Amino acid sequence: MPQDPMDFEWSYWIEWGRERILWLLAGHLLVSQVSRLLVEKYKPWCLMVYGMAACWLLLGIKGFAVILLHATISFAVAQFQLSLLTWLCSLLLLSILRIPAVEEAKRKWYDSENEYYLLLFTVSVRCLFCTSFSLEYCWHGSAQKSSHSFLWMLAYVFYYPMFHNGPLMNFDEFSKQMRRQEAFSLKTNFGILIVGIIRIFFWWCLAELMIHLMYIHALYNSTPPLEAASYWALG
């Protein structure tokens, strides 16, 4: 059965995944395990550097600079330790993305619309991470300045597995997991990896099945079938 051709977002991420993102995630896994074995104390900074390099590779130096600038502005505003100010800053940074002149300028950085959309998706999600860090800095930054430093913010913002499309993890949870030191067990780690791959494969197959059997996006873009259907069918 043919695939629903109107699901832009699924096709978009599948294309990026096959070309670059899947390989960059594999690279992150390798760096994570090597740094855990050799320099566990510096693991967050190794992953931060890797995330920055991956961002530079995919989005170019200008895209990387935009995300770094957003993080810097958010951190500077967080120094006032006012939650309202943090929210206003985040909303302002997001609203700037929709200014026509800014959109046009950013489009010129790339050769294709897909590259521009990748920047747009990534910056929007990074803004959520900046907001999470800044709010938690406002709540208890003074008491825990060492764990809420700008370096920790960069490690959080540039953590690659959640870089382009989430999911969102608050900074405190991220920090706890990064600081937790566990005994290395090849058997345990391999088991976790296999279970993770099986989960991803299952949900990927389910999503593909839905796209081939349930033409949801095609229906959204076709008015006559929607008008002909009863309210019960639409519900």
Residue 226 lies in a domain: no
In a domain, 207, yes or no: no
Per-residue confidence band for 49, with pLDDT thresholds at 50, 70 and 90: very high
Q: What is the mean pLDDT of residues 181-194?
A: 68
pTM listed for this prediction: 0.80
Q: Per-residue pLDDT tens for 3-26?
A: 666 666 777 777 777 788 888 888
157 domain residue, yes or no: yes
User: What's the structural domain count of the chain?
Assistant: 1
Is position 221 within any domain? Answer: no
For 195-227, the pLDDT digits (tens) are: 878 887 888 788 778 777 777 777 777 778 777
Decide if 208 is inside a domain: no
Provide the residue range defining the domain that includes 14: 5-180
* 3-state SS, one letter per residue, for the chain: CCCCCCCHHHHHHHHHHHHHHHHHHHHHHHHHHHHHHHCHHHHHHHHHHHHHHHHHHHHHHHHHHHHHHHHHHHHHHHCCCCHHHHHHHHHHHHHHCCCHHHHHHHHCCCCCHHHHHHHHHHHHHHHHHHHHHHHHHHHHCCCCCCCCCHHHHHHHHCCHHHCCCCCCCCHHHHHHHHHCCCCCCHHHHHHHHHHHHHHHHHHHHHHHHHHHHCCHHHHHCCHHHHHHCCHHHHC
**In-domain check, residue 44:** yes
